[in-house]
A = this chain, B = another copy of it.
């Protein structure tokens, strides 16, 4: 595979990181599916529920989806009466997305149980280990993101 121990370690880390993420995501997805929602749909609703109305682009960056994807997603949620588009006076190109009363009610109903599902899925490791994981994963994520800031243009 590779001889260099640092490289082997990094590859292993990426594998276990991906597996753990997908194992917990599977629990989360199964839970929200009971209410006819995908994980991405739930993520958008949850962001609006906890942060309040936000611009389409803000929501897009928060849930890591393409610009075309966010438009289609908001369409879907709007068609189901869970969110609505509002005009944004400060910049008439932009639109504000907000939960409708029905959307707010739905989230108030399903969020607590969803949070409990995540809590149980993570309960395999102790609180102390969870705290360590949070710190270290945050550092790992931030560093990896910053390394991506510079585009893959060849240095002239």
Contact = CB atoms under 8 A, between A and B. Distances in A.
Copies in the complex: 2
A26 B148 contact: yes
A147 interface: yes
A40 to B, nearest CB: 12
Main secondary structure of the interface of A (DSSP, over half): helix
Interface string A60-83: 000010000000000000000000
Contact of A118 (B7, B130, B133, B143): B7
Contacts of A129: 136, 139
Interface of A: 1-2, 4, 6-7, 9-14, 16-28, 30, 50, 64, 112, 115-116, 118-125, 127, 129-134, 136-148, 152
